[in-house]
Structure 1
Amino acid sequence: MYNRYNDGWIEVIAGCMFAGKTEEFIRRIIRLQYANRKVLVFKPTIDVRYATTKVVTHKGVSIQAIMIDRNQPEEILKILAKKENKNVNAIAVDEVQFFHKNIVEILDQLANNNKQVIVAGLDQDFRAEPFEVMSAILPRAEFVTKLDAICVVCGAAATRTQRIINGKEASYNDPIIEIGAQEKYEARCRKDHKVLK
């Protein structure tokens, strides 16, 4: 008989910025803790918007996390191999899109070893093009939730992340990764999302 809490799986929470991904991520971690699961939470060192050792929502809700160099996701396996972590049942990774692509194989390996894996992240960059890591994780996941936000221009469902530079929409050639929050990004619908050529 299938028991969700005894089998390994990958669960993805995706969407644009300001869609509530981190709120949902934390809610699911707490749910696992209520089910008496030991959970380790990881985040990339590049994400220092609100705190260095916590995953924090835009509203200030937080949960403790271990920072990992985004180019060395294998550190997750080294941390899990430590004696004090032998009873870890679940692994949660926030901002997964920022990690090196080999995180996909690591997460797959963990799920194959009966670990529950929850990841959250942007499915598209500011150009509305897929993040490579998310594109590889999504088809491997058992459970996928795509959240939307509210378009700041028209109030419709927003599925795109609009980057703003000096009060204007970013151009296509701007760097893909630029850490920020409300000061650099907006949620927009397909119609109101713009990328300058």
Structure 2
Amino acid sequence: MLYTEDVFRRRSELGGSIEVICGSMFSGKTEELIRRLRRAQIARLSVEIFKPRTDTRFDETAVVSHNANYIQSTPVENSSSILLLGSDVQVVGIDEAQFFDDELPNVCNILANRGVRVIVAGLDMDFKGKPFGPMPQLMTIAESVTKVHAVCVRCGNPALYSYRLVADEATVLLGEKESYEPRCRACYNLPA
């Protein structure tokens, strides 16, 4: 047997994987993350959820969806903390992955190679329509990528962009409906 076949067989036996849920703001990414994590809990798997410490919009510790569904999580300063805190679990959930450092894909790979099912949710693009943080790298190493869409508030078509309503050029601007709205490609590119 070739070395690579042996490595693949061991990974398959361990059951590790990386799943990415991505899309624009208001598309249901966190809702889908919570759904998958709750199903893992129902299956009596050990689950640990992480989010960036900077994300305090809805709650200091819980991951909360726009539909007010929530699941308790551990806020962390950086992705390497996830390795320390998520070492003895079967499923790791990570929300707002775009806000983590560039080491997150490596952390997810290490966990998956140990047999952990890693489920990551985050914005795939920033408000300028550019790839956001470590999300592009996560999507390339994931076994599965689910892209969810919001509804364009202008025309009702599927929205894949997070249009910023306020004049602020910072890449990271925590906000909700007062700061962003989901738009389709055509409405996103309309003159202001």
TM-score, length basis structure 2: 0.90
Give the equivalent residue in structure 1 for 2:105.
104
Measure, in 2, the Cα distance between the counterparts of 1:157 and 1:73: 32
1:23 corresponds, among 19, 31, 39, to 31
How much has 1:196 moved relative to structure 2?
A: 7.8
1:59 aligns with 2:60: no
The alpha-carbon deviation at position 80 of structure 1 amounts to 3.0
- Corresponding residue for residue 77 of structure 1: 83
CA distance in 1, matches of 2:29, 2:146: 9
Aligned to 1:181: 176
Residues 7-18 of structure 1: matches in 2 within 5 Å?
A: 7-18=15-26
Matches within 5 A, 1:146-165: 146-165=147-166
Deviating 4+ runs (over 2 angstroms): 194-197
Where does residue 5 of structure 2 map in the other structure? none
SS in 2 for 1:135: helix
SS state of the match for residue 192, structure 1?
A: helix
Q: CA deviation at 1:12?
A: 0.4
Give, as a single letter, the amino acid of the residue that structure 2 aligns with 1:95.
Answer: E
TM-score by length of 1: 0.87
The separation in 2 between residues aligned to 1:189 and 1:57, in whole angstroms, is: 21
Matched residue type, 1:13: I
Aligned to 2:138: 137
User: Residue 43 in 1 paired to residue 44 in 2?
Assistant: no
Paired residues, what number? 184
Unpaired runs of 5+ in structure 1?
none
Write the deviation string for residues 1-56 of structure 1: whole angstroms up to 9, x where unpaired.
9xx89500000000000101111000000111122211100000111110011000
Per the alignment, residue 6 of structure 2 pairs with none
Q: What is the CA-CA distance between 1:176 and the residue it aligns to? A: 0.5
> Measured at CA, do residues 137 and 195 of structure 1 come closer, stay the same or move farther in structure 2, by a change above 3 Å?
farther
CA–CA separation in structure 2 for the residues paired with 1:108 and 1:195: 39
Change (3 A) 1:156 1:36: same
Render the CA deviation track for 1:140-172: whole Å, top value 9, x for unaligned.
00011000010011111100000111xxxx47x
Partners in 1 of 2:16 and 2:44 — Cα distance? 16
How many percent of aligned residue pairs carry the same amino acid?
41
Contact 1:158 1:187 in 2 (8 A): yes
